[in-house]
Every structure is written in C-alpha cells, then in structure tokens.
Structure 1
Amino acid sequence: MKYNPHQYQGYATERILDTNYIALLLEMGLGKTVSTLTAIDRLLNDYFDAERVLVIAPLRVADDTWAREVEKWDHLRHLRISKVLGSVAIRRKALKVDADIYVINRENVEWLVSEYGSRWPFDTVVIDELSSFKNPQAKRFKALRRVRPMMKRVIGLTGTPAPNSLMDLWPQIYLLDQGERLGKTITGFRDRYFTPGARSGHVVYDWKQKKEAEQRIYEAISDIAVSMKAEDWLELPERIDRVVPVKLSQEARELYKKLERDLLLEYADADVIAQTAAVLSNKLRQMASGAVYDEDRGIKEIHEAKLDALEDIIEAAQGKPVMVFYDFKHSLSRIQQRFPQARTLRKGKDGSEDIRAWNNDEIPLLLLHPKSAGHGLNLQESSCQTIVWYDQIWSLEEDQQANARVHRQGQTRRIVVMRLVSEGTMDEETVDALERKATGQNELMEAVKARIQKVKGA
C-alpha cells in the first residue's frame, strides 16, 4: 500500500528525526507505528544515523503489529525485522539474525540487558507503550535504566502518559533524558513537585501536587514531548458513553453490606474473608459483578443482575456483534455459561484467525480482558457498535486502550460504550475515579500538544 501520510504523521516523523530522545503522546488510532517506522527507515538508510534498532513492546504487539506494518506499506517492505520472542534459545538465535529492527516483549527486557551487559548493541531504542515503564521499582525499568547511557536515540510512544497521576511521568521521562528535566531520582521529583499526604509511619500512601506543579512539569518536558489527540486530527464517528445502572436484589445488597461491614461472609464450606482494605475493595468489585472468590478460590454466586442487563443489551443489538470487557475469571465463566455463542481471543496464529473472524462478523459476542487486548489490535472492521464493560476497572490506560480497539481510524460507525454499574457499590467509585484520571491526563495532553495547523480529514 502506498503511504500518504497525514500532516500530523509527517510532523511526528520529523520530530523523531530532529530530537535524539522524544515522547510521542499520540492517542490511539493516529498511526504512531508507521510514523515511527518511517523515521527509523530514514535514520538507517538516508541519514546513516542509526545502525541497530530495538523495539520494546507488549507481547502481542511485538509478535504481530510491527512486522505487519512493515509488510503493509510499500516504502517499508525492505526493512528486515527479527522477533526476539519465545524460549531463550529462540531469542538468542533471533539476536544473531542480520536485521534492521529487533522486536522484543517488555517482559524480557531484564533478560536482554543481562545478556549483553556493557556490550549493549542497540543505538536506537523504541519503547512502544512507554507508560508500561511508569513504575521506578519495576525490574524492567531498572534494567533499561542501566543501559540507557549506551543509547543514542530513544523514542517513547504512548497514548496514556499519566494513567494514574503526574507521578507516573518521572520514570518515563527519565528513560528519555536520564533525569535532565524532572530530576535524577524519584525522591527528588517528589520533593520538588509534591507534598506527602496520607501515611502510615514513614510510608507515604498519597502525594499531593504543590501549587503550580502541574504547569512547571509541563513546561519542563515540553521540548521533548509531542501530544496529539485523535479528535483534533481524525473525523471519527461519534462515541457515546453510557452508564447502565444495575439494580441489585435485596438479598444481594445485604450480602454486599455485610462483607463491607464485617469483612466476612460465612458459608458452610469456605468463607469469604477480606483481611485488608485492598482485598476488601477487590472483593466488593467482584460482588458488584455477581460473584466472589472464597478463601479456597471457590466461587460464591451473589446475583445475576449484570448477566440479565447484558442479555438485554445483546438483544437490543439486533444481531450485530457485541464486544464485552471483563476483569474477573468468574465473570468470564459466568458470561460463557449464559451465552454459549461467546468467544475469546486465542494466542498466536489462532488469535490472528479470531481477529479475522471478528472483523468479518463471524463472532457474535467477543469477550476480552483489557490486559491482553488493550494494545495493537485492530478490531474496528466488524459491524460492532456496542462495547460493554461488564466489570469496572481502576486503570485509565487499560480502559482507553481497550475502547480504542474499535473506536479508531478506519471506524465508520457510531460506537456506544456501556458500563454496567451496580447501584450503591464499588462500581460507582471506580467509574468516578476513571473520570478524574481522564481529566488530569487530558490537561497533560493539551499542555504539550503539537502546535501545528489542524487539518481535518487530511
């Protein structure tokens, strides 16, 4: 296929070429992969400013998306990609292949760093989904930090740079500029821009932004962060977000309140116990969806109100495919039991066949977990217009990425995103928290938005 880039894609490519380390905060559907590959091709073959390129990505994206994009576009087909995936022996063999771009999943970053040590060979590194390096204590971050001085160029790609709070930015920006803008340590970053809030002894559980901290952080990173929002550049069909209230029975409400109050539900075989606040929160979310795990990992049924609500939605879709996101395994099994026609995405080549079948309207009900289906999947070619969140989740990043599997470039139909929210439960607090996080992230995206002419439909 011939590549005719949108103006914003050309701009993104030029910024990569002009900036040795850069964060492209491009919302889902803006074609950040092809924009980046175009820049890499020019760095390798026109500028001779890169020799060995590494792409770090979520597993499914590493296995499929980057190679598929190279095959798709005429101007990129000469690029050779080696997938550093699978067993240790297969990975080592892939590293010895003569290629232009080596693609590895983020779970194996620590292994890759230990494999090379001070002989790190990759002068250019692309971190696809940069926000997955937001934890400064994670092994993957610490490993990449060790070899960062040996990289000439770093390109960070994400549509969700601050999924929880501005605290998430420090590790991501550090991997770009090694602490030049936001400080060399997370401690220094916190001291400069935040004040401690709730704590237990010496452990701080909550940090509050100092006055004008947000503006100062935005200004500090504006020269190496480019933000683009889909609504500014693409004529996407309308997306409607709806909360579907789910009314629980009196019995279900009483069980919910009892666990909330007593931290215990007694059963003859195995009890449901919540010993900490975190466990309680999770079990209350489970109960809101209709079932809860007991102390032996058995399942206690609480209600079928969400299953009934989902059945109404499927019926209202009038035969068109419906996509459902779940968080708990017992939600998956209960949905499958009620709706035998439901399918999940398999792994590897079987998963590719499932994607083809979905896009050809051969799957009427697709059940996805946001962690495994949030990145790199193009599921917008089916006639699906209904996305249902059966379980409510805390992660803004997973929520936005998951919804963007259907509401993205190439979509021609209006999309309705429905959230099944059990009244008077943790569901309501979870949805409210997502809205607050989205507001904060939108402010970040606006602050560092690329200042170039908006071209609608170009």
Structure 2
Amino acid sequence: MQYQAHDYQKRATQLVIDIPRIGLFLDMGLGKTVITMTAIQELMFDRFEVSRVLVIAPKRVAEDTWTREHAKWDHLKDLRISKVLGNEQQRVRALKAEADIYVIGRDNVIWLTEYYQGLRKGWPFDMIVIDELSSFKNPQAKRFRALRKVIPLVKRVVGLTGTPSPNGMMDLWAEVYLLDQGERLGKTLGAYREKYFRPGARNGYVVYKWEPYRNAQKEIEAKISDICISMSAADYLKLPERIDNVIPVQLSPAEMQAYKTMESEQLLQIEDEDIAALNAAAVMTKLLQIANGSVYSVDGSIVRIHDAKLEALAEIIDTTDGPVLVFYSYKHDLAAIQGKIKDARVLNTAQDIADWNAGKVQVLLAHPASVGYGLNLQEGGHVIVWYGLTWSLELYQQANARLYRQGQEKPVIIHHLIAEGTVDEEAMQALQHKDTSQAALLAALKERRQR
C-alpha cells in the first residue's frame, strides 16, 4: 500500500529525524509505528546516521504490530526486521540475523543487556525505540534499571506513548530520564518529587498520593517541551462518534448480602471457602471479582456467586448485528464466558487478530493488558463490552483505542456491565473522572463502608 502521510505524520517524522532523543506523545491511532519506521528508513538509508535499531515493545506489539506495519507500506520494503522472540535459543538466533530493526518484548530487556554484557563485545545498537514509554514509568523496576545502563551508549532514543502520565505527573520522571539521563527533571526521583510535589493523602508516614504544587505542571511541561511532543487525535483526525453505554446489572438479595459481607468484614464464607483480603488493593480486587460473578478462595479455587453479567453479555451478543470485542478481567471470568458463549474465541495469536479483522470472528475475548498497546483491531468490529472493569485508566484507554482509532468507519459503542450497588460504580466513576490513583481507590472503599 502506498503511504500517503498526513501533515502531522510528516511533521512527527521530521521531529524524530531532527531531535536525537525525543518523546512522541501521540494519541492512540495517529500512526506512531509507521511514523517511526519512516524516520528510521531515512536515517539509515539516506543519511547513514544509524545502522542497527532496537525496538522494545509490549509482547503483542512485538509479535504483530511492527511486522504488520512493515508489510503494509510499500515505502518500507527495504527495511529488514528481526523479531527477537521465543525461547533463548530463538532470541539469540534472531539477534545474529542480518537485519536493520530488531524487535524485542519489554520483558526480555534484562536478558538482552545481560547477554551483551556477557559477550563483552559492546552494545551493538545505535538507536533505541521504546514503544510504549509509559511501561517504563517505574524507576524501581528491574527493566528500567537495565535499560538505564545502556541508554547512554546509543546516539538516538525515541519514546512512543499515547499515555505519558496515566497516573499523574509523577510518572514522567522515569520516562524523561530515559531520554535525557536526568538533564531536565533531575537525576533522581526524590529530587523531582521534592521540587514539584507535596504530600497528599497519607497514612502515618506512608504517602499514597503526591500533589503537584501550583503551576508545577506548566513548569514541568516547559522543561521537557524541547524533546517531548504531544499530538491529540481530536486535533488531527475526524474520528467516528463514540457512544459510552452503562448497562446496570442487578444482583439478587442473597448475592448482594455475600458482597456486602466481603465489603464490610474483608472475609467471606461461601460454601466453606475462606476468602480473605489483607489490604485495600486486595479488597478492591475481591470486590470486583464478586461483582463479575466469581471469586478466588484462599486456596485458589473458584467460587461461583452469580450469573447476572453472563446473562447481560449473552443478551448484548444476541441483539448486536456484528462482531463484539469483550474485555474480561480474571481467568474465572474467561472460563465463565467461554462456558456461556460457545463460539467465542480468545485473542492469543497474530492469526486471531487477522481473522478478527477479516470478519471471521463473531465474539473475541481479550484481557485489556494483552491488547493494550498498538494492536489494530478496528477493521473487525465497532462494539466493545467491558465484562469487568479495570482500575487502570491507562489500560482502559488503550484497550478502547483498539477499535476507536484511525481507520474505524462506524460509530464505536462501548458497553460497561455495572453491577448495581457494588464497587463497579466507583470504578466506572473513577475512569470517567480520570482519577484511578491509590488515594481514589482508598476513598472508594472508605465511602462504601460508611453506607
């Protein structure tokens, strides 16, 4: 296919070429992959500035998106891509292959740095592309620390994401550090926090939320504006209408009593199974499980509580003219849905993606974490059902953007199955208000216990 770049895509490509270390904060659906590959091709074949490019991406994106985009566009045919995936032997073989771009899953970053350290031949890549830079927002994570060591060894770094600060401005420090080694926001997270934030919600000495000082956001944005570029889909694309639909689901009195017991006592006895939650996050997880219909006991077995959401889902599928993409939260949700919707297919492979986009799949089941970044599913349908909500705003936005993105030709309908009187309502409200912080989670639980 011939690539007819939009003006914003031409500008973004030129920025990658002109700025050696850049963060492209482009909304989902604006074409981050083709923009970056177009820049790589010019840097490699026209300007001779780079010779080997490492792309670090979420697993699904590494498996499918980069090779799919490469095969799609005629102007990229000269680029050679090697997927560094599979077992260790397969990854080593892929690294030794003659290629221009080497795509690896982010979970293998630690292995990769240790592999080249063991060879003692130096770091072989002169450009690194971090696809979904926000997945490196935790400076304590081992993969961040591994990547931090090799970033100074390359001439060019590109950080791609549509959600640079899903949980607030605190997320930006680690992401920007990977671009400039602390030049703009400070060498340490502590220094960054001390300069721009004050303690907010806390329990004793434990701070759950840091509040930015007045004007902190403007100051931070000004500091990084020379290397971080943001583009919004609303400014550049005419997307179809998006319809968000909340479908209330009622639990029976007995089912609600089981839920209320768990909510108030953090311990639920159902058919001699002990189900315990030891902290706020665990309580929230248990409550969301119960709202969906099942819950894991302390020994890992599944306790079935209700089928209210299953029945609501079946009704939606029966009355929808066309394919339906269903997001589930837990393995017991998946098992329950598969038991009810016999012809549903689980998204596991690139072939599943191809069949969905070809119209061969009527009901596709996916966990939001498995499709959250980069996958193009807009050709296969326009209806989403959230069987169970996530507390992660980033996952929620990214998952919806698999259908609500450039190339979608129909209005996108997003159904949310909400169990009435449960924490589902708080989770939905938090997502709508874009406040899914730890403080909001604690407030949601506290508020419900006071009822």
**1:248-275 alpha-carbon deviations (Å, 9 max, x no partner):** 2211111111111111112344211222
Matches of 2:436 and 2:294, distance apart in 1: 31
> How far off its partner does 1:173 sit?
0.5
> How far off its partner does 1:436 sit?
3.0
Matches of 1:416 and 1:201, distance apart in 2: 44
> How far off its partner does 1:79 sit?
0.8
1:292 counterpart letter in structure 2: V
> How far off its partner does 1:353 sit?
2.5
Describe the SS at the equivalent of 1:240. strand
Change (3 A) 1:267 1:309: closer
Aligned equivalent of 2:389, options 375, 387, 392: 392
Describe the SS at the equivalent of 2:273. coil
Name 2:235's counterpart in structure 1: 232
Identity %: 56
Name 2:352's counterpart in structure 1: 354
Name 1:409's counterpart in structure 2: 406
Kept in 1, the 8 Å contact 2:134–2:165? The answer is yes
Matches of 1:259 and 1:192, distance apart in 2: 41
Kept in 2, the 8 Å contact 1:380–1:405? The answer is yes
Matches of 1:356 and 1:72, distance apart in 2: 13
Kept in 1, the 8 Å contact 2:23–2:160? The answer is yes
1:432 counterpart letter in structure 2: Q
Superposed counterparts of 1:222-301, under 5 Å: 222-301=225-304
Name 1:419's counterpart in structure 2: 416
Matches of 1:90 and 1:352, distance apart in 2: 18
- TM-score normalised over the length of structure 1: 0.91
Kept in 1, the 8 Å contact 2:167–2:436? The answer is no
Aligned pair 1:369/2:367, yes or no?
Answer: yes
Matches of 1:68 and 1:25, distance apart in 2: 22
RMSD over equivalenced CA pairs, Å: 1.7
Matches of 2:436 and 2:109, distance apart in 1: 32
Describe the SS at the equivalent of 1:241. strand
> How far off its partner does 1:435 sit?
2.5
> How far off its partner does 1:169 sit?
0.8
Describe the SS at the equivalent of 1:15. helix
> How far off its partner does 1:311 sit?
2.1
Name 2:48's counterpart in structure 1: 48
**1:207-227 alpha-carbon deviations (Å, 9 max, x no partner):** 111111111111111111111
Describe the SS at the equivalent of 2:312. helix
Aligned pair 1:18/2:18, yes or no?
Answer: yes
**1:90-143 alpha-carbon deviations (Å, 9 max, x no partner):** 222222222111111101111111122371121110000111101111111000
1:336 counterpart letter in structure 2: Q
Aligned pair 1:124/2:127, yes or no?
Answer: yes
Change (3 A) 1:99 1:260: same
Kept in 2, the 8 Å contact 1:165–1:437? The answer is no
Aligned equivalent of 1:308, options 307, 311, 314: 311
2:51 counterpart letter in structure 1: E
Matches of 2:232 and 2:270, distance apart in 1: 51
Aligned pair 1:197/2:197, yes or no?
Answer: no
Name 1:446's counterpart in structure 2: none
Change (3 A) 1:239 1:268: closer
Matches of 2:32 and 2:66, distance apart in 1: 11
Gap regions ≥5 residues in structure 2 = 438-451
Matches of 2:295 and 2:430, distance apart in 1: 22
2:260 counterpart letter in structure 1: K
Kept in 2, the 8 Å contact 1:344–1:366? The answer is yes
**1:151-194 alpha-carbon deviations (Å, 9 max, x no partner):** 11100001111111111111000000111111110111111111
Higher mean displacement: 268-277 or 384-393: 268-277
Higher mean displacement: 430-439 or 120-129: 430-439
Matches of 2:160 and 2:359, distance apart in 1: 31
Gap regions ≥5 residues in structure 1 = 441-458
Kept in 1, the 8 Å contact 2:270–2:303? The answer is no
Matches of 1:272 and 1:438, distance apart in 2: 28
Change (3 A) 1:80 1:360: closer
Kept in 1, the 8 Å contact 2:250–2:420? The answer is yes
Kept in 1, the 8 Å contact 2:389–2:427? The answer is yes
Kept in 1, the 8 Å contact 2:176–2:185? The answer is yes
Superposed counterparts of 1:113-192, under 5 Å: 113-117=113-117, 119-192=122-195
Name 2:429's counterpart in structure 1: 432
- TM-score normalised over the length of structure 2: 0.93
Kept in 2, the 8 Å contact 1:291–1:303? The answer is yes
1:179 counterpart letter in structure 2: G
**1:25-55 alpha-carbon deviations (Å, 9 max, x no partner):** 1111111111111111111111111122111
Matches of 1:286 and 1:439, distance apart in 2: 18
Matches of 1:12 and 1:429, distance apart in 2: 38
Name 1:342's counterpart in structure 2: 344
Kept in 2, the 8 Å contact 1:325–1:369? The answer is yes
Aligned pair 1:323/2:325, yes or no?
Answer: yes
Matches of 1:316 and 1:97, distance apart in 2: 50
Kept in 2, the 8 Å contact 1:120–1:150? The answer is yes
Superposed counterparts of 1:46-125, under 5 Å: 46-117=46-117, 119-125=122-128
Higher mean displacement: 195-204 or 13-22: 195-204
Matches of 1:93 and 1:21, distance apart in 2: 29
Superposed counterparts of 1:215-226, under 5 Å: 215-226=218-229
Kept in 1, the 8 Å contact 2:393–2:436? The answer is no
